Structure 1
């Protein structure tokens, strides 16, 4: 049974469940993955905790992990990128494997045929400040291009906030603008490194370049855990 530590935000967790179902090969109910969703929107804001001394989210994250352990789960997926800034603390507190969303995104780049070179990264300020993606992707041979601070303040963070406020369609234009700006700077693909960003991007026309959707990437990693090849 897969445990999903969600609620960060609630729509991202709910969309992860939908994408997990749609991406799972199956012909009947019994072919799908037994899953428990722990959706707790009370988890303190991760970016505020990292950048401005906000409340530590780790105790709330561990409360969710204990709930998923008690439910009998065998692994945990967390459809929130910034929460992975506390990955080591979470993994140290549980015997269950936690599927790392950044590793899943890196694997998805390979699936898309993007094996090296410059990669654009869109994420929250907290995720960028913690270098969750930069270090892991650079370790795999990618050069990571991030948006300038002006674009983060004017475009990306307001679009993420719009998705969290259920104004999803409003987020498409600014997020598409930011993604295209990264491609204009040489990115071969763009990693949507906040689980609100794919929701906004999916509200409009498909972008004309490869994107690594971290909701789908984590869903594929979860399927690979539950249904290993061979």
Structure 2
């Protein structure tokens, strides 16, 4: 967001350390007031309770709980449309990339703020006051690789730094002075004796006392003020979400699994993380599409639409429906959606134009609902081929292969259902079809895609719209950076 009529919304997560969160919040408000910018910002202070656990070395065992706590807090702020989140916690910055990967709202990076600030200041010998966990994780080394980093001696760390934070009279216990301040003073002297030019608080509890330490003449950076200045100067905006493909599943169930397998098979990947993120709303209770289109069956429009909206709400960039017949409802669904449904029928017609040029007659094997709705004929309008469908007797064979007691929807992939489908295929080939669309997503389970299948005395190209849709979704994901 830039300077417009709507205020920029910044949020602070303050529950990890109450004094630390309050210190950052106060500095943000005072800075806004000093700049006359209060009216241009909305500030939210999220102060949920976080149970850290006792002891100075509790971080490794509890880090998983800290991650979940922060995710819940940030997801809430994301729903509140925060433009940026400030996180006054160095421990949490050790896994900031993990958090950010799951969120759209940008988490403003306190380490980046310090790195930019200290790069301007120019010192090369930096003293760091932080928890043992932050030091072990090498957080400062990630951002200050060119600087000489100095840490307190083991004795000073154990006797001064950790008690100043975690002790009964430390900052986490609510004490912002007294013994905690004295201990940190001694820790600063340790760093200065090692040759530190500047001292950087690497724990927000220590940043709370930065001002008091500076008043004693110690060269301590106010990490929280640097963080505030950085947040006000850098407008990162919402992060583009990682690509997610939404799938309306359950129409039918086996076809959904088949489609997902085709997505995986068509993705170039060397490891799990190279595959596309899928969000599947698998609802077999969506009313039967063919029963609605050819008879008095329940209307599936609302169920399909609600599935689309759930996928949309969960960040889907595209929606795929591995059901040919359901595409009869796309014209009703798409106007209410902010993400596109990848039209399997249109993609199949496009594929024929690109890969089957010169074939004058294309046959369609599909449910009676798909045939009667005319959706494939509409998709093929203007194409350089004639689209033909089986006669009534052979269409009845197709329906029996799909819906019969021994059909594919009943779990059968061989035997009578396959023979019925082959008879319908031969019928189309005898009428001149040299390309046949397997226009029900269950049919490729009986008869796979094939470049030259022998049927009716001639070679026929068998096309699997599910596979075509899968390949198209994979290509679109690559174009979106997925």
User: TM-score range, shorter-chain basis?
Assistant: over 0.9
Equivalent position of 1:184 in the other structure? 430
1:224/1:183 Cα in 2 relative to 1: closer, same or farther (>3 Å)? same
Aligned with 1:175 (options 411, 415, 421): 421
2:448 touches 2:464 (CA, 8 Å); kept in 1? no
Alpha-carbon offset, residue 228 of structure 1 = 2.6
1:120 touches 1:145 (CA, 8 Å); kept in 2? yes
Instruction: Encode CA deviations 1:14-35: one digit per residue, 9 max, x unaligned.
Output: 1000011001122221221111
Equivalent position of 1:219 in the other structure? 470
Aligned with 1:123 (options 366, 386, 391): 366
Aligned with 1:198 (options 441, 444, 451): 444
Equivalent position of 1:159 in the other structure? 401
**CA distance in 2 between partners of 1:112 and 1:178 (Å):** 24
Instruction: Encode CA deviations 1:87-113: one digit per residue, 9 max, x unaligned.
Output: 011101211010001012113324543
Greater than 6 Å deviation, 4+ residue runs: none
Instruction: Encode CA deviations 1:136-173: one digit per residue, 9 max, x unaligned.
Output: 224222101100011111x1001012111001113222
Q: Whose RCO is larger (CA < 8 A, sep 6+)?
A: 1
Q: Does 1:135 align with 2:381?
A: no
Larger radius of gyration: 2
Equivalent position of 2:297 in the other structure? 54
Alpha-carbon offset, residue 202 of structure 1 = 3.3
Q: Root-mean-square deviation (CA), in Å?
A: 2.0
1:6 touches 1:78 (CA, 8 Å); kept in 2? yes
Structure 1 unmatched ranges of 5 or more: none
How many equivalent pairs are there? 228
Q: Does 1:102 align with 2:345?
A: yes
Q: TM-score, normalised by structure 2?
A: 0.45
Alpha-carbon offset, residue 135 of structure 1 = 2.3
Alpha-carbon offset, residue 40 of structure 1 = 0.6
